[in-house]
Amino acid sequence: MKLKTLVLSITLFGGIAAIPAHATQQEAATASAGEQILDLAKDQLLSGVGSLLINSFFGSGGPNYVMLSEASLQAIQERVRAEIIRDAEFEFISEFNSLESSMEHYSDTARYGRPDLALLSSLLVKSEDVINHRALNARYNNDFYYMADTYALAASVTVAIYTERYLQGYVSKSVVSTKAHNLANILDTMLRQKKAADLPLREKCIAPDPYDQVIEYKCSLRDPHGNTLASYVIEPQYPDDEVYWENLKRTKEAQYRKTKFDGIQSVINKLRSL
């Protein structure tokens, strides 16, 4: 790679708003937690005995769902929106926090062999409040689909609670499966709208100044919101420049799709497999 081109790229594109490095990573981590929950739920549904929420994944030693959700929402705010419906999203986090705390307490009681079944009923109500929150409602929040990663996690937690109710003899396995499929359909709608908002990526190459002695094309790859994913200066006198730029674009787009969409799609697939 040309040292000169690297320096020029940094100089020319350093001022362009780029996606924060942690942004899509936070969203992917949120959906990934949902995937792990559904894997545990599927295993427990197959065995049909015991307690799912006794697993340490749901206790105080497991991942903090609320922190993952907060980080994901913050990443969305930084990258996409100057203004967000703060009251609704903060209220959503508060309700999710209440659900998470109650799950941890139930997990503790189950671990000691005496699951709090009254609390299990409360968990069902709390989980429904979370997944039906107004922050996730298109009629209230025009950008609701940007919360798809958080919804994927919340939906997975809800399925875990339904699975626990099946294991404790309150509902049939078909009830769990039906709920999971309904959540998958909602999440699929969110993902399709998120893709419509975040794709396609856009390439722009600025033609050289006809008065410049050096011919070079300043190229960038950006998302629909103007955030830069990659930049490079193509100098035609270097035969490998165009090949390098094409490879760089493919790599960056693959990474973009993987971190923004693939985790959500995986959760949808797992929900539909229950």
Query: Where would I find the beta strands (DSSP E) of the chain?
Result: 202-206, 217-222, 228-234
Please list the pLDDT of the chain residue by residue as tens digits (274 residues).
453 443 333 333 333 334 444 455 666 778 888 999 999 999 999 999 889 999 877 866 666 777 777 777 776 665 555 455 567 777 888 898 899 999 999 998 888 888 899 999 999 999 999 999 988 888 888 888 988 998 999 999 999 999 999 999 999 999 999 999 999 999 999 999 999 999 999 999 998 877 777 789 999 999 998 889 999 999 988 889 999 999 999 999 999 999 899 999 999 999 999 9
Q: Which residue type does 198 have? A: D
Location of structure tokens 């703060």: 86
The order of strands in the sheet holding 202-206 is 202-206, 217-222, 228-234
Q: What is the DSSP string of 38-78?
A: HHHHHHHHHH--S-STTSGGGSTTS--HHHHHHHHHHHHHH
Backbone angles phi, psi at 268, to 5 degrees: -60, -45
Residue spans of the domains in the chain: they are: 70-198, 202-259
Give this prediction's pTM.
Answer: 0.84
